[in-house]
Amino acid sequence: MTIDNSMQISFELNGSMRRARVEPHERLIDLLRDVLGETGTKEGCGEGECGACTVLVEGRAVNSCLFPAPEVEGLRVVTIEGLCGEGLQLSPVQAAFLEGGATQCGFCTPGMVVSTVALLGENPAPSASDIRNALTGNLCRCTGYVQIVEAIQSAAAKLSAGGEA
Amino acid sequence: MVLPTSVEEASRLLPTAEGGASAKLLAGGQDLLTELKEHLVEPDTLVNLKSVPGLDTIEWNEAGELTIGALVTLTDLEEEAGVVEKLPILSEAAASIASAQIRSVGTVGGNLNQRPRCWYYRAEHAPCLKKGGSECYAFEGRNKYNAILGGGPSYIVHPSDLAPALVALGAKVTLKSHSTSRQLLLEDFYTLPSDGDILTETRLKPDEVLTHVHIPKQRAGMRSTYLKFKERASYDFALSSVALCLWLDQGQITRTRIVLGGVAPKPWRTVKGEQAILGKRVDARTIEMAREACLDGAVTLSENGFKIPLTKGLLTRAFQKLA
């Protein structure tokens, strides 16, 4: 048994190993934004309703506002920053959101994009209903979702022709 | 936060029936962390069950029985091949819960032990009956989401989607402390507010840990489904849900299990509804008998009368889907 106050953790963030000292009650989103400076991940509701804070942990979409930071020890975390290629080249999903006008104010977009990457990892050719189902945990208050669904279908089509989400 | 390495060690860190440390068990945290944020609970210690090995597996034995560890995530349960093939009711119930993000992290044990969603309970400054106050504000207040069956003196509904499905499957749960181990039918695990301790929804003792769920092998030919109605199409808790298992022999019902969710303070098994339709064919008349018998005794509050026709509609759909 270990009783810890702060603890040293190391984990893979967007392909690089990172070390940090975290408090037991610290949230993953605070570690990412305030300690490691990766501010692409947004905090909306702070209680798991809106999905703006979505990141990938071991390839699965999670709400980083409801995820204890110490628990990423040894795991692989990907945030919106980790999706870009060399020289900040946009990934196919990001490019599809941009081209399809699937953003408006943009606050939900990092979470939307990250949830999309999780979806396409499991289902490379999702139907519109699969997409809506996979994104139920991501709220957008501007777009009405139609262009988001279209952008995801477009990204899926491009990816099936070759490429990585 | 404490990281125990065994269930026994975790149990020793929890309060006893006489009180003691104000520790809480943490698993996926998808309910507990929101309770902490609202200051509904303020434990001095979190006992993180995830450091205990052996609680995150789904295992079928040779006899066809299924054991699910408390730390299995809802996503893993939903996608397990045997569950998808043999127990659609359970896969459907898991898939109906919250969002992909929450299912990735939320656990089976946490889903079964989650606390009420009633807005008076969740409002930090409302000292409702469930938080040790003297009044259930829903009774005379805003009660659209509250109970129509089994209510009083509190009118919460149990929020779990897995619970009605698991009760329909005759599941048992293992509850362990540092010195005891027992199994209960999940149906008997849950309590009504009128049963006694209003501050809890279950028979789990303060120093016990729900470690496993056990599903017996089902009789051959079972058809099953879980239908849930939500106020919004994306994700939400159930306004009403129906867990239905049905066995037919040449069109006649030889056995059935009907459990309602979202309408009572615990998963509401309706033995009366089950008995009313044994030996009958699944036709409009039989479904009507089931609808009436299942809702027998329902008492509506000022704003939740819609739950009666809604639940009847779900029952019709469930029978039509399986017959």
Task: Tell me how far apart the alpha carbons of residues A79 and B57 are, in angstroms, rounded to a whole number.
Answer: 28
User: Which ranges of chain B have pLDDT less than 50?
Assistant: none
pLDDT at A86: 82
Question: Token digits for A127?
Answer: 């139907």
Residue A118 with chain B: CB contacts under 8 Å: 100
Residue A2 with chain B: CB contacts under 8 Å: 2-3
Residue B9 with chain A: CB contacts under 8 Å: 1
CATH of A7-82, one of 3.40.50.2300, 2.70.160.11, 3.40.50.300, 3.10.20.30: 3.10.20.30
Asked if A137's CB is within 8 angstroms of B98's CB, the reply is yes
Length of chain B: 323
Question: What is this model's ipTM?
Answer: 0.92
The mean predicted confidence, pLDDT, of chain B is: 96
CATH of A84-160, one of 3.90.550.10, 3.10.20.30, 3.40.190.10, 1.10.150.120: 1.10.150.120
Each residue's pLDDT tens digit, A61-81: 999 999 999 999 999 999 999
Asked if B2's CB is within 8 angstroms of A1's CB, the reply is yes
Asked if A63's CB is within 8 angstroms of B101's CB, the reply is yes
Domain spans in chain B, listed from the N-terminal domain onward = 223-322
Task: Tell me how far apart the alpha carbons of residues A3 and B271 are, in angstroms, rounded to a whole number.
Answer: 48
Residue A24 with chain B: CB contacts under 8 Å: 1, 46
Instruction: For residue A27, give the chain B residue with the closest CA.
Output: B33
Is domain B223-322 in CATH 3.30.390.50, yes or no? yes
SS3 category, B152? coil
Residue A15 CB coordination number (10 Å): 8
pLDDT at A5: 76
Same fold, A7-82 and A84-160: no
- Which 25-84 residues of chain A touch chain B by CB within 8 A? 25, 46-48, 51, 54, 57, 60-63, 66-68, 70-71
Interface test with B, best of A29, A47, A63, A138 (most B CBs within 10 A): A63
Task: Tell me how far apart the alpha carbons of residues B196 and B192 are, in angstroms, rounded to a whole number.
Answer: 8
The mean predicted confidence, pLDDT, of chain A is: 94
Each residue's pLDDT tens digit, A100-116: 999 999 999 999 999 99
- Asked if pLDDT for residue A165 goes beyond 90, the answer is no
Does residue A161 or residue B33 have the better pLDDT? Answer: B33
- Asked if pLDDT for residue A136 goes beyond 90, the answer is yes
Instruction: For residue A24, give the chain B residue with the closest CA.
Output: B1
Q: How far is CA A88 from the centre of its chain?
A: 17
A118 touches chain B (CB under 8 A): yes
pLDDT at A114: 98
| Pairing of the two strands B252-261 and B268-269 | antiparallel
For chains A and B, CB pairs below 8 A equal: 72
Interface test with B, best of A57, A136, A139 (most B CBs within 10 A): A136
Shortest Cα distance from A40 to chain B (angstroms)? 18
Res. A164 pLDDT band, cuts 50 70 90? low
pLDDT at B274: 98
Rounded to the nearest 10 degrees, the angle between the axes of helix B284-294 and helix B307-322 is 140
Shortest Cα distance from B43 to chain A (angstroms)? 12
Shortest Cα distance from B323 to chain A (angstroms)? 26
Domain spans in chain A, listed from the N-terminal domain onward = 7-82, 84-160
Mean pLDDT of A35-63: 97
